[in-house]
Amino acid sequence: MGMEYIIDGESYLILLRVSLIFMGICLISLLKRKKSSVIDNNLKKKMAFVNGGVWRNEEKVQRLKCTVKNYDWGKFGVNTEVYRLYKANFGGNCDLVDPNLPYAELWMGTHESGSSFVVKKDKFWGKINGNNHGFDVINAKCENFEGETLKNWIENHPHVLGDKVLEKWGCDLPFLFKVLSVAKPLSIQAHPCKELAKKLHLQYPKVYKDENHKPEMALAVTKFEILCGFVGMQELQKTINSVPEISQLVGSAVVEQVAKITPEDGEEKVKAALRQLFTQMMSASDLLIAEVLSKLIGRLKKKEKLTPEEKLVLRLEEQYPGDVGVLAAFLMNFVTLNPGEALCLGANELHAYVSGECIECMATSDNVVRAGLTPKQRDVQTLCEMLTYKQGRPEVLRGFNVEGTDGCTKRYRPPFEEFEVDHCHLSAGKTSNFPSIAGPSLFLVTQGSGTLRAGFSAEKIRVGDVLFAPANTKLSISADTRLEIYRAGVNSKFL
């Protein structure tokens, strides 16, 4: 017969209290574990711990590998900017960089014609140095990496663009960042406005690969020569009088219309006369162009003293013999930018980069309508119809100091909302900040080495590095040696 336990009322109450206390302790312990698990998971999303304590924030600054273009107008040689930076971007890997090719453009961005790739770092090692600013990763190295396109990465992390950028331009960078090394003219060209870009893309998607416009800005790294826009009417009238070959090409009646323009004539009449002159010139037959150029070049070579424009025309004819673009150069402004000077080009504005090296930024597009100084496909009719025919010398930008950077950074702000460019110079041992901006940024290191800090993370940077920084990221940069950095981002005036 089993044992029987009889619990009186007082004992039952004591047992009940003990049980409730025990259950409460267990519940509190479970809640603490759950909270700790949530914190750990959130921390893991933000930080990856590797090899005993080296850490980085996966949604902060991202390193990029970039695309190069070997167009025939690019520069040859190991000392050109595009070659130098592209080779450095790949860690000096000679197998990826053939010095016997022309190096024309280094692309940084999301456009499908030249995507950048996000570096996935699998293994790091290095010494950690803690200080009041967080952690420094000293001598960090990447053993191997795998990359996905920057566009795909942004689509998977859309918040990195910031709310305003995401709302206005969708899940993509609105700007494209480049370095150019120009040995001979790209082409006489213009970039379509949005309305025309959509039309051209629909009609000829293999030629015009997107629906976007392409306003752009060139910031000179070396002396940089550009043909851009049409000269003023008075200068044009002097030109057609001093270059008789123009009349031979387009006809005396067209030239007379331009010659008769007065300051009292309205804008539409002036533009109509200029449009007719330019269209007649660009539409001339190859046979007539060759005949007229032969006379022009022969005459110029006999002159004792040449104007800068005449010297340019002789250079162009050597590079593009028999090309109508040689004559068209007489109608355009010939501008030479000094290092640190910039020039903006809007949609439907005629231009041709002639020589030199520059940093270039533009709306994300690769649409170009060409009509001269090029072996590529031309669309003379579209170009002549689309141009604004604006006349006069272009404005040259020299930048302004960015507040809070101790005079180390200049900003070049065009009248386009998609982009702006900063240029930062730091001497060895100096530190400067890039203030937080409500849009994404791309950084390019063109000289030196140092450390870039964002919050508690730090990255060693050196020449050739290209980095993506999400919106609202405040950065601090310290220079180990003389350091030079360019930043491209959405125009902060519109954010």
Q: Which amino acids are annotated catalytic?
A: 370
**Do residues 442 and 150 touch, judged by C-beta distance below 8 A?**
no
Question: Can you read off the two tokens belonging to residue 494?
Answer: 């519109």
In angstroms, the CA 198 to CA 415 distance is: 22
Greatest extent of the chain over all pairs of C-alpha atoms, in Å: 134
CA nearest to 96, candidates 86, 108, 81: 86
**What tokens appear for 151 in the block?**
């566009």
Contact indicator for 189, 226 with CB cutoff of 8 Å: no
Residue 243 CA to residue 287 CA, distance in Å, equals: 19
Assign residue 146 a region (left: φ > 0; alpha: ψ between -120 and 50; beta: otherwise). Answer: beta
Helices (H), 170-251: 194-203, 233-242, 244-250
Please report where in the chains the tokens 């949604």 appear, as a residue: 59
Contact (CB, 8 A) for 351 and 229: yes
Question: What is the arrangement of strands in the sheet containing 466-469, beginning at the earlier edge strand?
Answer: 145-149, 117-121, 62-65, 466-469, 441-447, 483-489, 420-426, 409-412, 400-401
Instruction: Indicate left, alpha or beta for 53 from its phi (over 0: left) and psi (-120 to 50: alpha).
Output: left
Q: If you count them, how many residues does the chain have? A: 495
| Radius of gyration over every alpha carbon of the chain, rounded to an integer in angstroms | 31
Q: Which amino acid is at 30?
A: L
